[in-house]
Structure 1
Amino acid sequence: MNSDSSLKKAALCLVLLCAAQLVTSVDQNNFKKCDQSSFCRRCRTMQPGSAPFALVEDSFQISTHDVKAILLNKENNVQFTLVLTSLRDNTLRLFINELSPMRPRFQVPFVLNELELNNNIKFHSKNPANISMTIGDEHAVTFTYDPFVLNVFQDEKVVISVNSKGLMKFEHLRTKTDQEEDGAWEESFHSHHDSKPYGPTAVALDFSFPDVDHVYGVPEHADSFALRTTDGGEPYRLYNLDVFEYELDSPMSLYAAIPFVTAHNSRHSVGVFWLNAAETWVDVTRSRSSLTGDVMSKIVSFVSGAGGDSEAPRSSSNVRFMSESGVIDAYLTLGPSPYDVTRQYATLTGTAPLPPYFSLAYHQCRWNYNTQKDVQEVSTQFDTHDMPMDVMWLDIEYTDQKKYFTWDPTKFAHPNEMVNNLTSTGRKLVVIIDPHIKRDAGYFLHDDATNNGYYVKNKDGNDFEGWCWPGSSSYLDFMNPVVRDYLASRYSLDNFPGSSLDVHIWNDMNEPSVFNGPEVTMHKDCKHYGDVEHRELHNIYGFTNVMATFDGLLKRSNYQQRPFVLTRSGFAGSQRFGAIWTGDNMAEWSHLKISLPMCLSLAISGWSFCGADVGGFFKNPDAELFTRWYQTGAYLPFFRGHAHIDTRRREPWLYGAATTALVREALRARYALLPHWYTLFHEHEITGAPVIRPLWFEFPQDTNTFSMENQFLVGNSILVRPVTDEGATQVSVYFPGPQEVWFDRDTYEAFTQTGTVTIAVSISKIPTYQRGGSIVPVRERVRRASSLTLQDPFTLMVALNVNGTAKGSLYLDDGQSYEYRKGEHISLSLSFANSVLTSRFASKGRLPTESWLERVVILGVPHNSYSKARIQSKSLGTTFTEVSYNSGTKSLSVRKPKVNMGEEWTISIE
Structure 2
Amino acid sequence: MEPSTENTEEASAFAEAVESSKFKTIGDIAFYRRQKKLLPGNSPYRALLDTLELSDCRAKLQLLNEENKVPLFVEVFVLKDHMIRIKVNELKPMKPRYEVPDVIINEPVTQRLTLVSKDGLSVTLTTVDGGTQILIIAKPFRMDVRDQGEMSVSVNSLGLLYFEHLRKKSQFEVRNTRGSKRKRDTETEKESEEDLGLWKEQFNEFIDIKTNGPTSIGLDFSLYGFEHVYGIPEHTENLRLKTTSQEEPYRLYNLDVFACKLYSRMSVYGSVPLLLAHKPKQTMGIFWLNASETLVDISMNTESKAALGKTKKLKTDDDPLPRTDVRWMSESGIIDAYVLMGPSAFDVFNQYSKLTGPQALPPLFALGHHQCRYSYKDENDVKQVDAGFDIHDIPYDIIWLDIDHTEGKRYFTWDKTKFPFPREMQEHLRAKDRKLVVISDPHIKVDKKYPFYSEAKSKNYFVRDKDGEEYQGSCWPGMSAYLDFTNPVVRNWYANKHGLDQYEDSTDILFVWNDMNEPTVFDGPELTMHKHAVHAGGWEHRDVHNLYGFYQQWATAEGLIRRSGGIERPFVLTRSFFAGSQRYGAVWTGDNVAEWSYLKISIPMLLNLSITGISFCGADVGGFVQSPEPELLVRWYQAGAYQPFFRNHSHTETKRREPWLFGEENTRIIRETIRERYALLPFWYTLFYMAHTKAEPVIRPLWVEFPEEANTFAVDDEYMIGEALLVHPVTEAGVREVNMFLPGTGELWYHLRTLQRFDGEQTLPVPVSLDSVPVYQRGGTIIPRKTRVRRSTKDMETISYALYIALNSENSATGKLFIDDGHSFNYRSKNQFLLRRFSFKDNTFSAVCADERGQYCTDCLVERVLVMGAARPSCVTAHCPDGPKSPIHFTYDVKKSLLNIESLRFNAGCDWMLKLHY
Shared fold by TM > 0.5?
yes
Alignment partner for residue 61 of structure 1, among 37, 44, 53? 53
Structure 1 match to 2:81: 89
- Is the CA contact 2:4–2:654 (under 8 Å) kept in the aligned structure 1? no
Structure 1 match to 2:223: 209
Amino acid at match of 1:80: L
Instruction: Give CA-to-partner distance per residue, 1:624-664, whole Å, 9 cap, x none.
Output: 10000000000110000000010000100000000000001
RMSD over aligned Cα, in angstroms?
Answer: 1.8
User: Does 2:133 match 1:140?
Assistant: yes
Cα distance in structure 2, aligned partners of 1:288 and 1:496:
60
Structure 1 match to 2:142: 149
Structure 2 match to 1:837: 845
Cα distance in structure 2, aligned partners of 1:562 and 1:839:
29
* C-alpha spacing 1:120/1:906, structure 2 compared with 1 (3 Å): farther
Cα distance in structure 2, aligned partners of 1:428 and 1:286:
49
- Is the CA contact 1:202–1:322 (under 8 Å) kept in the aligned structure 2? yes
Instruction: Give CA-to-partner distance per residue, 1:435-490, whole Å, 9 cap, x none.
Output: 00001121011101111111100001000010000000010011222211111111
- Is the CA contact 2:5–2:625 (under 8 Å) kept in the aligned structure 1? no
- Is the CA contact 1:610–1:637 (under 8 Å) kept in the aligned structure 2? yes
Structure 2 match to 1:124: 116
**Which segment is superposed worse, 172-181 or 633-642?**
172-181
Matches within 5 A, 1:374-385: 374-385=381-392
Cα distance in structure 2, aligned partners of 1:871 and 1:630:
42
Instruction: Give CA-to-partner distance per residue, 1:342-391, whole Å, 9 cap, x none.
Output: 11011110111211000011100010001111111111110110000000
Alignment partner for residue 244 of structure 1, among 232, 235, 258? 258
Structure 2 match to 1:232: 246
User: Does 2:682 match 1:675?
Assistant: yes
Structure 2 match to 1:855: 864
- Is the CA contact 2:4–2:653 (under 8 Å) kept in the aligned structure 1? no
Cα distance in structure 1, aligned partners of 2:130 and 2:900:
49
Structure 1 match to 2:166: 173
- Is the CA contact 1:872–1:879 (under 8 Å) kept in the aligned structure 2? no
Cα distance in structure 2, aligned partners of 1:734 and 1:155:
35
- Is the CA contact 2:2–2:258 (under 8 Å) kept in the aligned structure 1? no
- Is the CA contact 1:869–1:894 (under 8 Å) kept in the aligned structure 2? no
Helix, strand or coil: the match of 1:25?
helix
User: Does 2:826 match 1:819?
Assistant: yes
Tell me the number of residue pairs that the alignment of Structure 1 and Structure 2 aligns: 883
Structure 2 match to 1:71: 63
Helix, strand or coil: the match of 1:526?
coil
* C-alpha spacing 1:106/1:237, structure 2 compared with 1 (3 Å): same
Cα distance in structure 1, aligned partners of 2:360 and 2:627:
36
**Identity between Structure 1 and Structure 2 (%):** 44
Cα distance in structure 2, aligned partners of 1:86 and 1:173:
29
* C-alpha spacing 1:733/1:98, structure 2 compared with 1 (3 Å): same
- Is the CA contact 1:439–1:473 (under 8 Å) kept in the aligned structure 2? yes
User: Does 2:859 match 1:869?
Assistant: no
Cα distance in structure 2, aligned partners of 1:406 and 1:80:
52
**Gap regions ≥5 residues in structure 2:** 173-188
Cα distance in structure 1, aligned partners of 2:808 and 2:582:
34
Amino acid at match of 2:649: H
Structure 2 match to 1:714: 721
**Which segment is superposed worse, 109-118 or 809-818?**
109-118
Q: CA deviation at 1:311?
A: 7.8
- Is the CA contact 2:873–2:916 (under 8 Å) kept in the aligned structure 1? no
Cα distance in structure 2, aligned partners of 1:543 and 1:884:
53
Helix, strand or coil: the match of 1:100?
coil
Instruction: Give CA-to-partner distance per residue, 1:242-294, whole Å, 9 cap, x none.
Output: 001101000010000111100111121110000000001111111123x9x9x
Helix, strand or coil: the match of 1:751?
strand
Structure 2 match to 1:5: none
Q: CA deviation at 1:754?
A: 1.1
- Is the CA contact 2:741–2:764 (under 8 Å) kept in the aligned structure 1? yes
Alignment partner for residue 15 of structure 2, among 9, 20, 25? 25
Structure 2 match to 1:354: 361
Alignment partner for residue 745 of structure 2, among 738, 755, 758? 738
Alignment partner for residue 560 of structure 1, among 562, 567, 570? 567
- Is the CA contact 1:130–1:143 (under 8 Å) kept in the aligned structure 2? yes
Structure 2 match to 1:276: 290
Q: CA deviation at 1:117?
A: 2.1
**Which segment is superposed worse, 652-661 or 755-764?**
755-764
Alignment partner for residue 547 of structure 1, among 554, 559, 574? 554
Q: CA deviation at 1:129?
A: 2.2
Cα distance in structure 2, aligned partners of 1:578 and 1:811:
19
Cα distance in structure 2, aligned partners of 1:230 and 1:736:
30
- Is the CA contact 1:358–1:787 (under 8 Å) kept in the aligned structure 2? yes
Cα distance in structure 1, aligned partners of 2:761 and 2:661:
42
TM-score if structure 1 supplies the norm length? 0.95
Instruction: Give CA-to-partner distance per residue, 1:69-122, whole Å, 9 cap, x none.
Output: 011111111111110001110011000100110111000111001123232533
Cα distance in structure 2, aligned partners of 1:519 and 1:549:
26
Structure 1 match to 2:466: 459
User: Does 2:280 match 1:259?
Assistant: no
Cα distance in structure 2, aligned partners of 1:225 and 1:17:
28
Q: CA deviation at 1:154?
A: 2.4
Structure 1 match to 2:374: 367
Instruction: Give CA-to-partner distance per residue, 1:464-520, whole Å, 9 cap, x none.
Output: 010000000010011222211111111000111221111100000000000000000
- Is the CA contact 1:87–1:115 (under 8 Å) kept in the aligned structure 2? no
Cα distance in structure 2, aligned partners of 1:840 and 1:409:
55
- Is the CA contact 2:55–2:112 (under 8 Å) kept in the aligned structure 1? no
- Is the CA contact 1:157–1:310 (under 8 Å) kept in the aligned structure 2? no
Amino acid at match of 2:261: E
Cα distance in structure 1, aligned partners of 2:717 and 2:289:
30
Structure 2 match to 1:491: 498
Cα distance in structure 1, aligned partners of 2:744 and 2:756:
17
Alignment partner for residue 108 of structure 1, among 100, 103, 116? 100
Structure 2 match to 1:516: 523
Cα distance in structure 2, aligned partners of 1:695 and 1:165:
32
Cα distance in structure 2, aligned partners of 1:842 and 1:185:
60
Amino acid at match of 2:732: D
Helix, strand or coil: the match of 2:560?
helix
**Which segment is superposed worse, 787-796 or 643-652?**
787-796
Amino acid at match of 1:467: S
Amino acid at match of 2:138: Y
Instruction: Give CA-to-partner distance per residue, 1:552-594, whole Å, 9 cap, x none.
Output: 1111110000000000000000110010001000000000000
Structure 2 match to 1:582: 589
Amino acid at match of 1:121: L
Helix, strand or coil: the match of 2:766?
strand
- Is the CA contact 1:278–1:323 (under 8 Å) kept in the aligned structure 2? yes
Instruction: Give CA-to-partner distance per residue, 1:759-792, whole Å, 9 cap, x none.
Output: 1111111001111010100002120001111221
Q: CA deviation at 1:64?
A: 4.3
Cα distance in structure 2, aligned partners of 1:316 and 1:628:
39
